[in-house]
Structure 1
């Protein structure tokens, strides 16, 4: 039976396999750069074509050793560098914060239409929010990275969300997991967070509707209303 990972076990494994581990993490960093560049190119193109940029910000992150150890342990995966590559698909992450809800799907479709991108998994928490209220579009994609003597396919998790979805998600983690909350208080906090998520979604939809209306107006129509 394969041994499961604990934090100390994982650290020891990394020490024993430092070169392969560092090499794998470098591959993930390169893949994140590839995906980030693709989104920046799309943002620049949209700016030229539609006179507006759909991307507010892009952030990348690489899972640390503690997170990797916990996930290997929780999922019951073997303790090895190969197990990380074969079983954990969100080691590398790219978060794209968009202006409007429509931008999420437009950018996702544009990324997936590229012939060197393969969709591995898609989870649409925008159309189907989590019970907690969480909203975001999650994609696991595979992208090639080109090294000196080889090409490797590397998986990256992409999260696309609006400004309000990102604001809610950032604060939700702080509020939901405050220490020493009673069971009753924790339940009240959860209920309020769901309501706030619905309010944020309503704001997104209203902003989207306003932008759609303005886009439908000709310059002459807009000028005549001044």
Structure 2
């Protein structure tokens, strides 16, 4: 029996939907991992290295444009093999050291496979752009199969993110033809952002050292235990057991 055009379209639409869904679920999985890392670090160190995150899925139109540009075959397996930034997540951190700490945490997750790392912090792009890019493969478990899905992760500081946002707006306004004097000023602004990042990290380190040098306050703080929204007092008997007295 011949399948009607409507039914053919319905089947094709379902295939596209399932194809895009796995990338959405991959982003959800990465988000969950980041939330766990954030809460763990907040509880143990009273500090959150992740300011905020933003995830996005490429639209089917954008995927097709990139596929045509690459001159690749127009099939779903071809898209999966050749377009590796369909799912993307941007993580904004407070300090440069947080970026590398977070990347090491992701590297240490046994179910994640690191496919590629591009460090535009140690080696900024010619225009001044800085960020750490990671291409990560994560398993997604569907009702009838498991798929390894590629996610692009960009990690940067607040200053780096502000610069990148401004640069994008300028290029969008000028339709890629930006006057040379603005390009020069953008690069100078990138250098200023780098200097600010380093200065703020130095201040943060000094504040941490001052806090650690106040033993009385630290001792009282260590007697408190906070898990999620609940706070507990560690029993004296347990404290004696730990201290061996």
Same fold (TM over 0.5): yes
Closer/same/farther in 2, CA of residues 87 and 192 from structure 1, 3 Å limit = same
Partners of 1:154 and 1:82 in 2: how far apart? 12
Which consecutive residues of structure 2, in runs of 5 or more, have no partner in the other structure? 1-8, 218-245
1:208 aligns to 2:215 (yes or no): no
Partners of 2:77 and 2:214 in 1: how far apart? 58
Q: How many positions carry a matched residue from both structures?
A: 208
TM-score (normalised: structure 1): 0.86
Match of 2:229 in 1: none
Q: Encode CA deviations 1:9-54: one digit per residue, 9 max, x unaligned.
A: xxxxx99832222111000000000011111110111101111111
Partners of 2:65 and 2:184 in 1: how far apart? 28
What aligned pairs does 1:38-53 form with structure 2 within 5 A after superposition? 38-53=33-48
**30, 33, 38: which one pairs with 2:28?**
33
Deviation at 1:180, TM superposition (A): 7.5
What aligned pairs does 1:119-138 form with structure 2 within 5 A after superposition? 119-138=114-133
Closer/same/farther in 2, CA of residues 180 and 138 from structure 1, 3 Å limit = closer
**169, 175, 188: which one pairs with 2:181?**
188
1:142 aligns to 2:137 (yes or no): yes
Equivalent pair of 2:22/2:149 in contact (CA under 8 Å): yes
Match of 1:83 in 2: 78
Match of 1:72 in 2: 67
Partners of 1:35 and 1:93 in 2: how far apart? 10
Moved over 6 A (4+): 180-183
Partners of 2:86 and 2:160 in 1: how far apart? 22
Equivalent pair of 2:171/2:177 in contact (CA under 8 Å): no
Which 10-residue stretch deviates more, 39-48 or 207-216?
207-216
TM-score (normalised: structure 2): 0.79
Partners of 2:175 and 2:56 in 1: how far apart? 30
Report the 3-state secondary structure (helix = DSSP H, G, I; strand = E; otherwise coil) of the residue aligned with 1:132: coil
**170, 178, 191: which one pairs with 1:175?**
170
Partners of 1:179 and 1:210 in 2: how far apart? 38
**74, 84, 93: which one pairs with 2:88?**
93
